[in-house]
Amino acid sequence: MSKARLLRALSRVVTGFTILYISSFMICSGWVWYQRGAVNRSWAQTELPLENFSHRFPPTKPNQTALQLQEIGKRFDLMFIRTQTQQDRNLIESMLRTTRLVGDYVQSQVQKNSSELDPLPPALQQFMASHQADLQALKHVLEANPAPVWEMDLALAEQAETPNLLACRGLASLLAVDILENTRQGKHQEALRSFELSWKANESLRNRPELISQLIAVAVDNLNLDILARMEQVPVEWQQRIAAHNYHTSIAVAIEAETWMLYERTKSGEIVLRGTEAETPTNKLFRSTVVALTEPYVKTLMLNAVEAQCRTLAVARNRGNYWFDWKGTVSHSRNPVSNLYAVNGASAWRTMNRHLMQVEKTQKILSIKAQALDGYFPKMISGIESSANPNGKWNYEVAPDGTAKLSFSQEVEFLPLKFTFKPRT
């Protein structure tokens, strides 16, 4: 074959490849444009236009309560606001030790599924005694001020500052130790005071629109519910207060926020590979080529995921604050991004279901304790049917020795639904 023929053949191949690439790029770009319209139509079903979402949750800065908690928290090795100093990095290691010391005792008490409480272990007793003045200062800050407000900026997505959620959980555990010890010693009013403050401290997380904040808020509330079930002389009003926050709504908003941020990142091109200032010309050329070849496909994947999330939200918003069939929200597709977000959403709904059962269980426990006469529990209780979970009902029985037992007929994953009441003598 002559050199001229070879060049003509090579030219045809290059021309064909170029035409194929341009055609594919135009088809994919058209599909992306179509998907974007489909996403907007799906989003309309959630009654929230995309461009207005960030206005619902404007950026916030830590209020004075949060800043004071940050300073007092350091005395307990709790760091609520993230910084990058070496001192604070060392504080994180100390915080892990503190939360383990405090958390191990709290977990050992709530796992017993009864109101029996053990004395504090020597190490924890020494820790609490050495920080008694700090604990009182912490209570005063929470009591005398509004609930803490932490920094938030949804426009920054993953780069936004968030409170140290481990510290928020550590604060709840610290107050839980104080509540349990006061309850064990019969100081019920002081225990109730600490519980009120712990419930108040979690208020800011309940109202944040990030999914991780919602999951931590649920975890802290569930811990508080476990503690409340072991307290005595609890005012009857708490039976309604613990059910006041609608996690079905706030978790739906959080999933909506994640969907909105994914859509904004897709629209602005932040999902594609980005270079660095030190990038070499060769790397830049390679990255640009990869981006040009993959961007339409990646955007299509992302927009498909957004549309799937919008469909799930449209279904979820039509349901009230009760047991949600999360399995129906998981759609197995060939889109790995859709599957990932569906799994995350399903996990959130599953967490909400467990919380609803936890609330109902705690309400039953408080009601039974409130009906106790002379230390003996009622022979029967009302409300055996569950309003939180249609798949089962509550069982309640009293043994001849006066011991009462509450249980649920169906198992709920990772949630013990049993409680034993020992007669008080």
- 178/269 same-domain check: no
Integer Cα distance of 348 and 212 in angstroms: 9
Indicate the pairing of strand 394-398 with strand 404-408. Answer: antiparallel
Same domain as 9, residue 138? no
Q: Which amino acid is at 11?
A: S
What pLDDT was estimated at residue 295? 61
Task: Give residue 285's pLDDT.
Answer: 62
- pLDDT tens sequence across 53-62: 677 888 889 9
Task: Indicate the DSSP class of residue 6.
Answer: H
Strands 418-421 and 394-398: unpaired
* SS3 at position 412: strand
Residues of the domain holding 293: 3-56+255-348
Please tell me the total count of domains within the chain: 2
Residues 41 and 94 in one domain: no
Instruction: Name 241's Cβ contacts closer than 8 Å, sequence gap at least 6.
Output: 199
Residues 200 and 74 in one domain: yes
Mean pLDDT of 76-91: 66
pLDDT, greater one: 291 or 372: 372
pLDDT tops 70 at residue 292 = no
Whether 11 shows a pLDDT value over 50: the answer reads yes
Q: Are residues 166 and 264 in the same domain?
A: no
Residues 399, 405, 410: CA angle, nearest 5 degrees: 130
Backbone angles phi, psi at 97, to 5 degrees: -65, -40
pLDDT value at position 380?
A: 87
Helix orientation angle between 281-316 and 336-371, rounded to the nearest 10 degrees = 40
**How high is the mean pLDDT of the chain?**
79
Q: What is the pLDDT of residue 47?
A: 44
**Weakest mean pLDDT among 18-32, 130-144, 188-202:** 18-32
Confidence of residue 350 (pLDDT cuts 50, 70, 90): confident
For residues 140 and 180, state if they share a domain. Answer: yes
Q: What is the pLDDT of residues 235-278, one digit of tens each?
A: 999 999 999 998 888 888 888 887 777 777 666 655 554 545 55
* Residues 51 and 129 grouped into a single domain: no
Residues 102 and 215 in one domain: yes
pLDDT at 46: 43
Whole-angstrom Cα distance, residue 224 to residue 126? 24
Q: Are residues 168 and 264 in the same domain?
A: no
The better pLDDT of the pair 124, 305 is held by 124
390-415: pLDDT as tens digits? 888 999 999 998 899 999 998 877 78
